[in-house]
Each structure stands twice: as C-alpha cells, then as structure tokens.
Structure 1
Amino acid sequence: MARPPKCRCIGGYPDFWSFSPDDESTEAPVMLSLDEFETIRSIDWLGQNQEECAQEMQIARTTVTSIYESSRKKLADALVNGRRIIISGGSYRLRETEESIHMKKKGSGVMRIAVTYENGEVFQHFGHTQQFKLYDVNNGTIEKEEVVDTNGQGHGALAGFLKQAEVDTLICGGIGGGAQMALSEAGITLYAGCSGEADEAVKALIAGTLAQVGEATCDHHHGEEHHCGHHGEGHEHHHHHEGGHCGHHHEGGHCGHHHHHEE
C-alpha cells in the first residue's frame, strides 16, 4: 500500500482560478492542483530552480520534479487542445506568516465569523478590504470581537489570511467569482451582498435572519441593509482548520488525496 504524499507547503492561494479558450470547448477541463500550481509559480514565474522550490515547499527535489513535470504536461494539454484549466484541491498547507503565527487560536466549539470592515460598516469590496472584524461565537453568544488589519490585498492573499485565522464564515459586500472560488477552497462559508452595520449583520447571521439577495458581484447595488446572499451549504458551519495540517478542506485539513507523486 502506497504511503500518502507528504504535505506540500504553498505560498498562498492564487488570485485567478480558471482559464478558458475564447472558443467553447467540449473537452473536459484540465484540473491543476494547488501544489502543481505552486511549482509553476515558483519555477516558471519566480525563476527558482527545483532545489530552491523544494526548500520552499518543504519536500524532496525529486518530488518537485515529479509535480512540475505533471503540471507542465497538463498546461501543454490545455494550450494545444483548447481545454479549460481549473485550479483546485491538492495535498498542501499554507505557509505560515507573521500574522498567522501570532493570531489567537479559537476555542473548542467556537464559530469564528469575519466581516469586511470599515468604520463600523460592512466594507463593500472584498478584494480591497484593509480590515476584518472577527467575532468568536459560542452557543449563539458573541464571546469576543477583534478588528485586525489584512496587511495586504488581493483575493488569494485575503482568503489565505482568513483560513489561517481559522475563520468559518465570511460576511461581505461585493465579491468576484475568483474570490468565491478561493473561499470555497479554504472551506469558508460565504454570505455576500451585505451592507449596513457589521455588528448587526453578525447578529442577523446568528439569529438565522440574513436574507438572500441574489448574486453578489462587486458591481451590485447596496441598497438594503443586513441582507446577504448565502453561498455556503445550508446554515451549517463546519470547522476545517486543524492548524498546521494540510490538504484540501474536504479532507478535514489532512493531506493525502488526488495525487500520486511519491517522495
């Protein structure tokens, strides 16, 4: 029985998650895992050699070679045959940052809610938010509130920040498709299209009274207070953050699926 692949450390989530040819393709999409994407980013974009990439990903150089060759083959297939590329899944964990190291861990049974935040209100553009307000909720009661700086912008970076902050649910205003894919990958339930006071939106979420308002793209109207479009699965809140473990969020934060690159 083959042993599961070792966790691969990646620098963060991408900002763009799918690429399509101009002409419609009937071919099945090419699925590129996040650890495969990381080798392309590190070697072809940043100019690292395979040894440097291996050190960053904390795996053997031979493993990097195998992952890199697989990812290049997939990209060639997509380019030559006009197939859509979708980035998703993999056996990985996010590289720790200074912010994540010092972020306080949430307690057992706590749901952590994040709200895009500015001057007490729900900030309306996820990718440009400079602050999140975090709420720790236990048995329907808010136990702790904290405003944190994002220290960076971009959909991928912000989704990674929220995952490392052990956030279960995000409340925000406008949000693009790429950001929604990043949050889905991170296992974070999304309530988008919200406006008004952040505290009131969280209270409405806890009470189960947030109403759906349709698609919540960044050019939507913000006329109704405390109404949100829900893009999660029902109203259940699952805790996927196992601190330091890796893998796709559907695997509960542990590594070992999809790939057969042996280290």
Structure 2
Amino acid sequence: MAGRHQKVRSVGIEPEYLGFSPDGLVSGDDLTLTVDELEVLRLVDLERLSQAEAAQRMGVARATIASICERARAKTADALVNGRRLVIAGGNVAYASASCADAEPWPAKGEGIMRIAVTYDNGNVFQHFGKTQQFKIYDVEEGKIVSAEVVSSNGAGHGALAGVLAEGGVDTLICGGIGGGAINALNQAGITIYAGGSGDCDALVDAFLAGEVEQVEGATCDCHGHGHGEGHEHGHEGCGCGGHGHDHGEGHEGCGCGCH
C-alpha cells in the first residue's frame, strides 16, 4: 500500500542562510536540515510559540510539530557537538504571503517609472537586508528622481521581503549585507541587487544614477548572527565588499563575508 502523502507545511520566512560550517575541520557527512524543520525551530525555540500555536501557523497537526521538532533538534545538536556541516534544503513547504489585510499600502507606481528601494534606517543604508523595517523608495523617470518616500517592510523578514518588494513594484534594490537565500528570492522576482552599500541613502542613490555604484556578486552577509549598525566601524581589506564602510559590533578578520 502506498504511503500517506505528506501534507504541505506553511513556512513564514524563506531561509536567508543556506548552510553553516564549523570553525575548523568538518567532520563526517553533511547534515540536511529541511526548511520545515528550520521553521519549527524558529517558531518553537526562537519565537517561543507552543507546539499547538506552531501547528496552527504551519497548517499541520501538533503531533507532526513534535516529531519535526525532535528531529530538527537532534540534527542541530549533532552538527554543533560533532563538527558537521549543516545544510538548509528541501522539505514539502509553501511560503506564506507576506501581505496582510492591515499592511501599509505602498504608493502606486506610474507608467515608465523605475523604482529603487534602499534598506533604510534614519537616513542611512540599513546593513542587514533580512531585518530591515523600512525602505526608502525612489521613483525615477528619465534618469531623474521624481519622488521619494519611506515605507514599511510590513513586518516581513529575510526572503519574504522579496515578495514585498515585488508587490511594491521595485525594480532595483540597494542594500548593505544580504544572504544567499534572499538573493535567490529577489532574482526569482526579477529585482536587480546592488549590495554592499553604506552611508546616506540619498547620496548613494545619486551615485547609482550617475553610474558610480558597482554590483557585488553573491551573498554579502554570511556572518550568521553578528549585529549590524552598532556604531563600530572596521576595515575591509581583502574582504571583497568593495571597500564600503559598515557599522558592526564584531571583528571579521578573514571571514570573507563581504558585508562588513
């Protein structure tokens, strides 16, 4: 008799980080943590929801959450204790829409307008795309800014922000650090990314329109959990971020993250 078809699990955030490696020699084979397993850890262990609440969020039974949680914790413990690489991939999941009934509407985009969005924090480029609470959007016509406005991310985070930007008509994103999962989601949405930026948003957009901002290939944030924007500048020699200054609370000598 054929096995029972696995029910699709609803996931609220598309993973921004797709793998974690030990600081040193990797031991044994890679461990794969599926996206639904990661989501259960996020809801139960990070957001501190009950298993019943997590089950409601993901559209499955509470017993299913308990089983997934036990499996995910065991894999994470194995990776941490035994020095195995943890890969985030797979799972029968569907990403929940970031939109909600009480979300703040973004201004309509006119015909022939290019819309640029910049991760925003008090006039400057916010350094962690996945945690930005605001964007400053610039509508550009014939190479000139015709309007600019600060808008909300509507509570979305990480890869789910790609849907917010796409629904808002954004063509180009300018940001500081950004992870591989978010880049994939933005690429799928057809949004061009200029990462590694810093400083005043208005000045950076002016530089972009003047052709003075270069694209950085690949993820520019893989430091997993380091804080951003904490008022501690550090150098970028050899990190590949293009020499932009970024605020950060930790040193990253040799980490190759490119976002700091």
Q: Which bracket does the TM-score occupy, shorter chain normalised? A: 0.5 to 0.7
Residues 29-178 of structure 1: pairs in structure 2 closer than 5 A? 29-79=30-80, 81-88=82-89, 90=91, 91-94=93-96, 96=98, 101-104=103-106, 113-117=116-120, 123=125, 125-126=127-128, 131-135=134-138, 145-150=148-153, 157=157, 160-166=160-166, 167=170, 169-172=172-175, 174-175=176-177
1:55 CA displacement: 0.6
C-alpha change, 1:102 and 1:46, in structure 2 (3 Å) is closer
Gaps in structure 2 of 5+ consecutive residues: 222-227, 229-233, 237-242, 246-257
Q: Which residue of 1 aligns with 2:240?
A: none
Q: Equivalents in 2 of 1:102, 1:86: separation in Å?
A: 35
1:60 CA displacement: 3.2
2:28 alignment partner AA: E
1:3 CA displacement: 5.7
1:114 CA displacement: 1.6
Q: Deviations over 1:4-58 (max 9, x none)?
A: 7424132x35676543334311534323233211212333444444322111222
Query: Residue 186 of structure 1: SS of its match in structure 2?
Result: helix
Query: Residue 132 of structure 1: SS of its match in structure 2?
Result: strand
C-alpha change, 1:99 and 1:18, in structure 2 (3 Å) is farther
Comparing both chains, which one has the higher relative contact order based on Cα–Cα distances under 8 Å and sequence gaps of 6 or more? 1
Q: Which residue of 2 aligns with 1:203?
A: 209
Q: Which residue of 1 aligns with 2:186?
A: 187
Q: Equivalents in 2 of 1:42, 1:157: separation in Å?
A: 14
Q: Equivalents in 2 of 1:92, 1:186: separation in Å?
A: 14
Is the CA contact (8 Å cut-off) linking 2:135 and 2:151 kept in structure 1? yes
Residues 23-34 of structure 1: pairs in structure 2 closer than 5 A? 23-34=24-35
Gaps in structure 1 of 5+ consecutive residues: 224-230, 232-263
Q: Equivalents in 2 of 1:77, 1:22: separation in Å?
A: 15
Is the CA contact (8 Å cut-off) linking 1:88 and 1:185 kept in structure 2? no
1:171 CA displacement: 0.9
Q: Equivalents in 2 of 1:20, 1:171: separation in Å?
A: 28
Matched, 1:6 2:8: yes
C-alpha change, 1:49 and 1:203, in structure 2 (3 Å) is same
TM, length-normalised to structure 2? 0.56
Is the CA contact (8 Å cut-off) linking 2:44 and 2:51 kept in structure 1? yes
Q: Equivalents in 2 of 1:100, 1:186: separation in Å?
A: 24
Q: Equivalents in 1 of 2:34, 2:143: separation in Å?
A: 37
Query: Residue 157 of structure 2: SS of its match in structure 1?
Result: helix
Query: Residue 59 of structure 1: SS of its match in structure 2?
Result: coil
RMSD of aligned residue pairs (Cα, Å)? 4.7
Q: Which deviates more from structure 2 when the two are superposed, residues 98-107 or residues 28-37? A: 98-107
Is the CA contact (8 Å cut-off) linking 2:103 and 2:154 kept in structure 1? no
1:83 CA displacement: 0.6
TM, length-normalised to structure 1? 0.56
